[in-house]
Amino acid sequence: PRPEGGGAHRRREAFLAKTVCIKSYGCQMNVYDSARMADVLAPEGYRSVASPEDADLVILNTCHIREKAADKIYSELGRLRVLKEARAARGRPMLLAVAGCVAQAEGAEMLRRAPALDIVVGPQSYHRLPDLVRRASRGAGPGLVDTEFPVDPKFDSLPAPSAPGSVSAFLTIQEGCDKFCAFCVVPYTRGAEFSRPAAQILAEARHLVALGTREITLLGQNVNAYHGAAPDGAGEWRLGRLIRALAAIDGLARIRYTTSHPSDVDAQQIAAHAEIDKLMPFLHLPVQSGSDRVLAAMNRRHARSDYLRIVAALRTARPDIALSSDFIVGHPGETEADFQATLDLVREVGFAQAYSFKYSPRPGTPAAAEEDQVPEQEKSERLARLQALIESQQRAFNEGTAGRTVPVLLDRPGRRQGQIAGRTPWMQAVHVPVADDRELARHLGRIRPVEILAVRATSLAGRIAPAANAA
């Protein structure tokens, strides 16, 4: 039983006054994890704030995928240390925590490099944040480190999402990776592949929809390796089956998923694109390189021809499907001819959008130890050439929607006043003018037919088709 009485009210006020600022770096799973960290801290009395200046607890949810991403964290910690000292001088302590993949990869080493840090917590143990925060606020002892992979998955002890319904929400269904691509730290930082039970995912999805969510993006390092326990306990579900069950939820309008691995694409996944209307015609399917030699060096477990075969099958199933990918240029051993093969694959597939990166050696990964590293200059040149090609494809893809009327899920206020923003089925961002807040509220969370009037570099502008606006 909770002690109540004389000072309880004041105590509760102090308790409620705590603030947390969570800054998310890197991938969408970090965005999801950051939201869940806020959920787990809410019962402790922590309210989320946007700026670290106003925070009693600052959490950096970090990314370790490339060197630059990790370096950013140490410079941010330098700035936060100054803030922490200034607050301490005013008698207002601030706790500083690092979560995510840098925390997992560097562990206690982070406390040595950044002594102002109070907590280092990995991506599989952040459900223990309340305990860590309580212990850290008690004493001036050394910083706390929790980078375990607990046997009880964190999902079993996280409270239900509490954020007041964002129209478009993320939902992690699978985490970790057993693929061990030669360049990648993820199998070390996120751990072994793990699928959440289907019943747990369906419950979370229903909960999100009840809070106002209309679109769910299923997240995982390899979502299409999903093999969660079936709700009735009889065997396992693959991704296609899970999407089918999610599509049956009333009120849920759109389903997406990311990221997929080519060697885990199965017939069920492809059939889902043909048969499930709520599943959007867009797929992020990283290929990394168009050269078989480099794909083998990367340990990708598929050939260039496999990728092209999957793309053809997807396009047969869903002719208007738009494709996106990730590319790495300058992987150890990559020659100009290998790079040409990548450009050639891009031309052959035709992408609606794609991300490309210079290879960045990550400590502890096999590729980092290779001798035939590609010079930085070479990497930069190849990246520029690839990005020019990708940009021209993206522009051409976007221009294909000019003048058409397309269904747009209006999911957020625009960045500018008098604007609402949303996405087409093919993931293109669209901005639409609105007269006032009332009109904005009327459209938010709705799918409206939008006439595309202008095509910009990475987004579209349009207006709600007149007939729909009158409705």
Instruction: Select the binding partner of residue 177 from ligand 5AD, ligand SF4, none (C-beta < 5 to 8 A, by kind).
Output: ligand SF4
Which of the listed partners (ligand 5AD, ligand SF4, none) does 30 bind, with a CB threshold of 5 to 8 Å by partner kind? none
Torsion-angle region of 299 (φ positive above 0: left; ψ -120 to 50: alpha; else: beta): left
Length of the chain: 471
Can residue 330 be called a binding residue for ligand 5AD (CB under 6 A)? no
Q: Which residue in the set 101, 169, 181, 297 belongs to the binding site for ligand SF4 (CB under 6 A)?
A: 181
User: Residue 360, interface with ligand 5AD (CB under 6 A)?
Assistant: yes
Which one of ligand 5AD, ligand SF4, none is in contact with 214 (Cβ closer than 5 to 8 A by kind)? none
Which residues 307-326 are close enough to bind ligand 5AD by CB under 6 A? 326
* 184 lies in the binding site for ligand 5AD (CB under 6 A): yes
- State yes or no: residue 261 binds ligand SF4 (CB under 6 A): yes
In the complex, the smallest distance separating the C-beta of residue 362 from ligand 5AD, rounded to whole angstroms, is 5
Q: Minimal CB distance to ligand 5AD: which residue?
A: 326
Residue 300 touches ligand 5AD, criterion: CB under 6 A: no
CA distance 410 to 447: 6
Q: Do 394 and 401 form a contact (C-beta atoms < 8 A)? A: no
Structure-token pair, residue 282: 């867009």
> 31: closest CA among 226, 151, 170?
170
**DSSP per-residue codes, 153-216:** -GGGGPPPP-S---SEEEEE-EE--S---TT--HHHHT-S-EE--HHHHHHHHHHHHHTT--EE
Alpha carbon distance 265, 269 (integer Å): 6
CA 21 to chain CA centroid, nearest Å: 19
Q: How many C-beta neighbours within 10 Å does residue 217 have?
A: 19
Handedness of CA 386, 387, 388, 394 (dihedral sign): positive
221 in contact with ligand SF4 (CB under 6 A): yes
Asked if residue 219 binds ligand SF4 (CB under 6 A), the reply is no
448 Cβ contact list (under 8 Å, min separation 6): 407, 408, 410, 422, 432, 464, 465, 468, 469
Closest CB 466 distance from ligand SF4, rounded Å? 45
Considering only 5-13, 179-187, 240-248, 302-310, which stretch makes contact with ligand SF4 by CB under 6 A? 179-187
Candidates 183, 226, 282, 426: give the one binding ligand 5AD (CB under 6 A): 183
Binding at 360: pick from ligand 5AD, ligand SF4, none (beta carbon under 5-8 Å per type): ligand 5AD
Q: In this complex, which beta carbon is closest to ligand SF4, that of residue 177 or of residue 280?
A: 177
Can residue 15 be called a binding residue for ligand SF4 (CB under 6 A)?
no
Binding mask 34-73 for ligand 5AD (x = CB under 6 A): -------------------------------xx-------
| Structural tokens at position 430 | 């669209």
Q: Say if CB 95 and CB 133 are below 8 A apart.
A: yes
Considering only residues 298, 328, 408, 409, which one is a binding residue for ligand 5AD as defined by CB under 6 A?
328
Q: How far is the CB of 393 from ligand 5AD (least distance, A)?
A: 17
Residue 293 C-beta: closest distance to ligand 5AD, Å: 18
| C-alpha dist (Å) from residue 458 to 158, 393, 467 | 36, 11, 27
- The answer to the question of residue 186 lying near ligand SF4 (CB under 6 A) is yes
Q: Quote the tokens at residue 118.
A: 């109070």
CB neighbours of 64 closer than 8 A, spacing ≥ 6? 26, 70, 100, 101, 102, 104, 105, 185, 189, 362
Give the bridge partners for 49, in sequence order. Answer: none
Draw the binding track, 256-295, toward ligand 5AD (x: CB under 6 A; -: no contact). ------------------------------x-x-------
Site for ligand 5AD in 109-148 (CB under 6 A): none
Residue type at position 184? C
Q: Taking CB under 6 A as the rule, does residue 328 contact ligand SF4?
A: no
* Residues that bind ligand SF4 in the complex, under the rule CB under 6 A: 177, 179-181, 184, 186-187, 221-222, 261
* Residues that bind ligand 5AD in the complex, under the rule CB under 6 A: 65-66, 183-184, 286, 288, 326, 328, 357, 359-360, 362
